[in-house]
Amino acid sequence: MEFNEDDFFRNATLQICSSLDIEKALFNCLQYIRLFLPASTVGLGLYEQGIGNIACLFVVDRLGNRRSSPSIPVTKESMQELQSLVDEAGIGIIDRLNETVAGVLRPYIDVAKHAAILMGLSIEGRHIGSFFVFAEGTARFTSEHVRMVSVLREPLSIAMSNALRYKELEKLKDILDAENRELSRELRGLPGGEIIGGRHGMKRTMQMVRQVAPLDSPVLLLGETGVGKEVVADVIHHSSPRRGGPFIKVNCGAIPENLMDSELFGHEKGAFTGAVARKMGRFERANAGTILLDEIGELPLQAQVRLLRVLQQKEIERVGGAKTIAVDVRVIAATHRDMEELVRSGAFREDLWFRLNVFPIRIPPLRDRKEDISALVNHFIERKSKELKIFPVPSVSAEVLERLKAYHWPGNVRELENMIERELIYFRGIGTEGRLLQFEHLNTCIQGTTRPNETSQAFLPLEKAESHHIITALRSCAGRISGPKGAAQLLEINPNTLRSRMKKLGIPFSRNGGE
């Protein structure tokens, strides 16, 4: 094709600016310039100002194969050597790549079998990167080819500058998305200003929370599963000077060991199979805020080493990256495990344990603060009734509260919350709006969890036992009394007899008459 400089500049520029995806734009550009020079591959290296690293490298061949790399460390001398390969205009033919350039490009192209044109790119006198055009073989390029490529310096420089800005915008977008996700979580369940029981069973715990919240010291929350460690961590964060920053929660026991480093510290594109894009880790997202490491006792030893570095040096490295990233994060750890035993057995690093165990707060189990049960029951009934759209909100009698207090609560506050939700679902399903919650099934729980040192046995009055048995049968039959799938058949009695017993015991009929 006959070469016309104006047409070449205009058409090549259109290809360079054809996509925000820099690799796609390079491929489009390559397809066009191949009409005029023997180009088989193009490459682009963007420099990180102030550090001297190649911030990212893109290589695209004529078949559309794309290869890229995140930050590549190079020395100042290597950068100077690279620049010496070009003339005063910043462009030159390279028939044999020196070791510096070859070392950078060798993973992406067979440098021994290619010649190249190298052109420096700059904006307002500031060097921002280099553009390579490769041809298979040696002595393939002429001075005319150099002139053609030099025509593209300005559009390539502008496009590359935009790519750098776009890269930075993507990073800021990642941060903003992470903060928005955390804000959404907070809006769905914003913690109150005071923990229920803070003036009674949790009084000592809340005193310790108020002492440590204004500081940046690490906090270790200890307690059985379900006692509310995450709620206490919420209060610490929102009572601290960091409350305007993100609050990131990580369950260390729920992340596969091979993904732990990536989840906590992030990874670069291409760091491993499946890493198709750069990803910020939880620590980077928590910058200027707080991170909760729940179930810290489940953290693998390899991740413990990297966590120790974060606590000591306040910096991280993404998986597959060489750049050190400073982070300002307050760490709150939580566990139900015996950490001292884990340290003795070698499952947890002693030096990390000392770093985390600066200010331990032990949260008492629900059975040790039964004076809080009444307030917790009222709180959960009100909240769950709103979620289930039950109105008016039901209540419980003093007798039922005493039964709730008599239970051992092995699952702590979480078990109480789930039991109330279950009772409200039953309550709603059989149409008993306006009546008191009975928690009939709790009697079975109390008998089934009697502790060994409790020798007395709890027996229900006969009518209550019968009432409980009928209600259980009705629930299993979705409230139906008669018919092949009704409670009467299940209990092997006449449906009319069952209705009579229900009426006598005060058991309500379902809305559809129980048929």
Confidence check: pLDDT of 13 > 80? yes
Confidence check: pLDDT of 361 > 90? yes
Confidence check: pLDDT of 50 > 60? no
**pLDDT tens digits along 154-204:** 888 888 777 767 767 776 776 676 666 555 554 444 444 457 876 788 889
**pLDDT tens digits along 454-491:** 433 455 677 777 888 888 888 778 788 888 778 888 88
DSSP tag of 363:
P
- Band of the pLDDT at 249, cuts 50, 70, 90? very high
Q: Which long-range CB contacts under 8 A does 178-183 form with residues at least 24 apart?
A: 178/246, 178/248, 178/280, 178/285, 179/246, 179/285, 182/246, 182/247, 182/248
Sheet with strand 41-47: strands edge to edge: 66-69, 54-61, 41-47, 126-136, 114-123, 91-94
- Band of the pLDDT at 73, cuts 50, 70, 90? low
- The rounded mean pLDDT for the chain is 81
Mean pLDDT lowest for which of 83-92, 315-324, 409-418? 83-92
Q: Are strands 329-335 and 289-294 parallel, antiparallel or unpaired?
A: parallel
- For residue 52, the model assigns a pLDDT of 55
- For residue 436, the model assigns a pLDDT of 79
**pLDDT tens digits along 403-452:** 898 888 999 999 999 999 988 888 876 655 446 788 877 765 655 554 44
- For residue 248, the model assigns a pLDDT of 93
- For residue 65, the model assigns a pLDDT of 85
Domains and CATH numbers, the chain: 5-166 (3.30.450.40), 204-364 (3.40.50.300), 382-505 (no CATH)
